[in-house]
Structure formats: structure tokens, C-alpha cells
């Protein structure tokens, strides 16, 4: 199903169209046409919008996996640098979670 956005003419001398602040959303065709019919004296137009399907935030390429490993390693280093002097159970658990995640991502990278 195609959605439409409403644009308005920016200026009469320049043929520049911008997104309408009055109608900022995405509308089905019949709703967009009814908006244009309701305000015939204003310079509005409807433009089709292609909405990309949602991609779950899971790394699928080697570059993304290497980036995830680098971020997890950086988080581990930050955690060990800012750790308190005494032993803290929360910091140990956080480090263990980062370590398990890093092992999982490394294994996933090796399977590619």
C-alpha cells in the first residue's frame, strides 16, 4: 500500500517544494486527496513515499560484526578502567555479559 506525504510550495518565484508542517505524516491516497480537495486555494501536492521494510537490528555482514566486536571490546575496556577499587558484583556481571556477547559475535563472524 503506497503512502503519500503532503508538500507545500516554498515560494512562488522558486519552484521548491518542502514537507508541509501542517500535514507532517504519511497518508493513504484517499486521505491525501481529501486534504488537497479541502484546501484548493493553497499550493499543496501529494508525493508518494516508499517506506522501506523494517530491518531487525542484527548484524548480517562481516563489517557489521567486526564493528560489534570493536564496540563490545571498547565497552569492556571502559568498564575495567572505570571500575572501583573494591570488588563490585555489578561490574563483574557486566563484564561477563560483554564477554559472552563478544564470544557470540566472534562465533557468528567465523561462520561467515
68: nearest Cα among 107, 110, 106: 106
Q: pLDDT band for 57, please (50, 70, 90 cuts).
A: low
pLDDT per position as a tens digit, 62-87: 898 999 999 999 988 888 777 665 56
pTM of the model: 0.46
Q: What is the mean pLDDT of residues 78-104?
A: 79
For residue 104, the tally of other CB atoms under 10 A from its CB is 12
Per-residue pLDDT for 53 more than 80? Answer: no
**For residue 97, how many other CB atoms are within 10 A of its CB?**
13
Residue 59 in this model has a pLDDT that exceeds 60: no
Res. 33 pLDDT band, cuts 50 70 90:
very high
Domain boundary assignment for the chain: 3-49, 62-111
pLDDT, mean over the chain: 84
Q: What is the SS3 string spanning the chain?
A: CCEEEEEEECCCCCCCEEECCCCCCCECHHHHHHHHHHCCCCCEEEEEECCCCCCCCCCCCHHHHHHHHHHHHHHHHHHHHCCCCCCCHHHHHHHHHHHHHHHHHHHHHHHC
Amino acid at each position: 500500500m503506497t503512502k503519500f506525504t503532503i508538500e507545500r510550495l516554498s515560494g512562488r518565484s522558486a519552484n521548491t517544494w518542502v514537507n508541509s508542517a501542517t500535514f507532517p505524516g504519511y497518508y493513504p491516497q484517499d486521505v491525501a486527496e481529501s486534504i488537497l480537495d479541502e484546501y484548493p486555494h493553497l499550493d499543496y501536492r501529494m508525493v508518494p513515499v516508499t517506506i522501506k521494510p523494517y530491518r531487525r537490528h542484527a548484524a548480517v555482514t562481516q563489517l557489521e560484526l567486526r564493528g560489534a566486536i570493536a564496540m563490545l571490546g571498547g565497552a569492556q575496556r571502559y568498564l575495567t578502567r572505570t571500575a572501583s577499587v573494591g570488588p563490585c558484583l555489578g561490574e563483574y556481571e557486566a563484564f561477563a555479559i560483554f564477554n559472552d556477547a563478544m564470544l557470540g559475535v566472534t562465533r557468528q563472524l567465523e561462520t561467515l
